[in-house]
Structure 1
Amino acid sequence: MKNTPEHNERIRTMKFFSVYPHYVTKVEKKGRTKEELHTVIEWLTGFDSTKIQEMIDRKVTFEEFFDEAELNPNAELIKGVICGYRIEEIDNELTKKCRYLDKLIDELARGRKMEKVLRGS
């Protein structure tokens, strides 16, 4: 699947607070916790639970969310397909970062060990 400019724009302007509850529901439905979700988000972005809540309260877009993030240097180890897109082939940096997050959350929800989700960290 090829990312289109329209797709990239939609991701850029999507609000983090509107997607976050879906992340929580996804992981909790599969027996994981909100705390584990926050561990994954913190690993990728450097945001602790307080900062995640601040981002939700400010109703930031994904562009603003990742502009403020300090991406984990091991994020490039996140590979595979998510939402029909092969992460390694995504050329738009913001879209790639969003797919990194999606992939980590998907792995968490599927029951993968936290050590594997966090790429051995």
Structure 2
Amino acid sequence: MKTTPEHDERMAKMTFASVYPHYITKVESKGRTKEELHQVIEWLTGFNDEKINELAESDVTFETFFSEANLNKNSHLIKGTICGYRIEEITNPLTQKVRYLDKLVDELANGRKMEKILRD
């Protein structure tokens, strides 16, 4: 499934702060912790707890969020579908990165073991 330019633009302009509380709610409702969420975000982006909290309290867009990130060298191993899109087929690099994060959060919430989520 190919993303549209409008979809890609919406992903770029969405703020991290607008989805971060939903990530927390999702993982905590499934028995996982905020600390585990931060571990997953740090693996993908290189952001530590302090930076994640700072970004969660600002109006930084995903475009800026990922331009500041140091994407994990193994992020290309994140595969599968999320929100109806096959991650490895997404052609827009930013949209793909946002979906990487969504997929990792989903895997965490679904009880996948941390060593499997952190594809090292």
TM-score (normalised: structure 1): 0.97
User: Once superposed, which parts of structure 1, at least 4 consecutive aligned residues long, lie more than 3 Å away?
Assistant: none
Alignment-derived partner of residue 109 in structure 1: 109
Alignment-derived partner of residue 90 in structure 2: 90
Counterparts of 1:101 and 1:17, CA distance in 2: 14
CA RMSD of aligned residues (A): 0.6
Matched residue type, 1:33: T
Matched residue type, 1:51: K
Q: Structure 1 stretch 33-42 or stretch 54-63: which is displaced more?
A: 54-63
In the TM superposition, 1:1-121 aligns within 5 A as 1-119=1-119, 121=120
Report how far residue 19 of structure 1 moved. 0.4
Matched residue type, 2:113: K
How many pairs are equivalent? 120
SS of equivalent to 2:57: helix
Counterparts of 2:49 and 2:60, CA distance in 1: 15
Deviations 1:16-44 (A, max 9, x none): 00100000000000000000000000000
SS of equivalent to 2:74: helix
Counterparts of 2:58 and 2:105, CA distance in 1: 22
Q: List gaps (5 residues or longer) in structure 1.
A: none
Matched residue type, 2:25: T
SS of equivalent to 2:31: coil
Give the % identical residues: 72
